[in-house]
């Protein structure tokens, strides 16, 4: 579907609409019409980051989990196509991980006063960045495609099962700044965005979907490129 021109056109129109809506919907103290967003004291225009930053972080996670799942499939079938999928998913995941880290960090400077605060979610994305880095460092130091595929798949699985421990460990150690952190009004709920007004929620989920489709499209392009490279 995404391969087709229609799919590509739809995706670009969708994302354009999301970006225009996210940047241009006016923020007023008391929203009256459907296109007005509430003015949140202390956040003001900075609240718009949630429409772009959270989808990036989400894609990072999707890419990591799919790299791991393709890794499991490689170990089951020994089909190197899955390894190719795994490495492409991880490559895109790294790009989105850097984007999420940088956007979040710039925003943190203006809202929380410093680029980096070791808040639990900042720490988690940093760990994810380290895992991606380690994954590629491991891959580049193994000769032999089969061995490289098996070992990097094994590493991604080990990382995948130990990373969830942060969910239990973090709240015991540090208090957070992100919504949904310990001490926050909403408790430790993973989706703190539910406090958003309905029109903002629509843009948010549209952005989430748009970014996910962007990832799927980029993934299919990269897969075609690496298949072509393989044949030459």
Chain residues in the site for other proteins (CB under 8 A)? 75, 127, 130-131, 133-134, 137-138, 141-143, 147, 150-151, 153-155, 157-159, 161-163, 165-166, 168-170, 172-173
Minimum distance, C-beta of residue 161 to other proteins, in the bound complex (Å): 5
Minimum distance, C-beta of residue 117 to other proteins, in the bound complex (Å): 16
> Are 75 and 160 within 8 A, CB to CB?
no
Minimum distance, C-beta of residue 170 to other proteins, in the bound complex (Å): 8
Nearer to other proteins, 99 or 150 (CB): 150
Nearer to other proteins, 39 or 155 (CB): 155
**Alpha-carbon distance 85 to 67, whole Å?**
7
Which CA distances in Å does 228 have to 104, 162, 225?
36, 35, 5
Minimum distance, C-beta of residue 159 to other proteins, in the bound complex (Å): 6
φ and ψ at 181, to 5 degrees? -85, 175
Q: Is 191 exposed, middle or buried (0-12, 13-18, 19+ CB in 10 A)?
A: exposed
Nearer to other proteins, 10 or 163 (CB): 163
Helix/strand/coil (H, E, C) string of 147-204? HHHHHHHHHHHHHHHHCCHHHHHHHHHCCCCCCCCCCCCCCCCCCHHHHCCHHHHHHH
Minimum distance, C-beta of residue 81 to other proteins, in the bound complex (Å): 17
Which CA distances in Å does 43 have to 38, 75, 95, 111, 132?
11, 47, 27, 7, 32
Q: Of the candidates 67, 44, 29, 63, which has an alpha carbon nearest to the alpha carbon of residue 156? A: 67
Nearer to other proteins, 129 or 213 (CB): 129
Nearer to other proteins, 162 or 175 (CB): 162
Nearer to other proteins, 2 or 163 (CB): 163
Minimum distance, C-beta of residue 139 to other proteins, in the bound complex (Å): 9
Q: Is 168 exposed, middle or buried (0-12, 13-18, 19+ CB in 10 A)?
A: exposed
């Amino acid at each position: 579907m995404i391969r087709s021109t229609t799919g590509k056109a739809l995706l670009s129109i969708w994302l354009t609409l999301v970006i225009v809506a996210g940047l241009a919907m006016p923020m007023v103290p008391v929203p009256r019409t459907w296109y007005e967003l509430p003015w949140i004291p202390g956040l003001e225009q900075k609240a718009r980051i949630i429409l772009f930053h959270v989808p990036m972080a989400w894609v990072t996670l999707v890419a990591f989990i799919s790299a791991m799942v393709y890794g499991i499939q490689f170990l089951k079938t020994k089909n190197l196509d899955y390894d190719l999928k795994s490495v492409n998913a991880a490559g895109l995941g790294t790009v989105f991980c850097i984007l999420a880290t940088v956007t979040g960090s710039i925003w943190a400077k203006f809202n929380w006063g410093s680029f980096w605060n070791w808040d639990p979610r900042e720490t988690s994305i940093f760990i994810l960045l380290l895992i991606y880095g380690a994954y590629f460092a491991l891959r580049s130091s193994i000769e032999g495609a089969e061995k490289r595929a098996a070992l990097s798949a094994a590493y991604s699985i080990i990382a995948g099962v130990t990373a969830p421990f942060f969910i239990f460990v973090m709240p015991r150690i540090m208090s957070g700044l992100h919504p949904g952190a310990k001490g926050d009004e909403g408790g430790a709920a993973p989706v703190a965005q539910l406090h958003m007004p309905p029109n903002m929620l629509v843009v948010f989920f549209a952005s989430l979907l748009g970014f996910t489709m962007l990832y799927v499209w980029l993934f299919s392009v990269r897969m075609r490129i690496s298949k072509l490279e393989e044949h030459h």
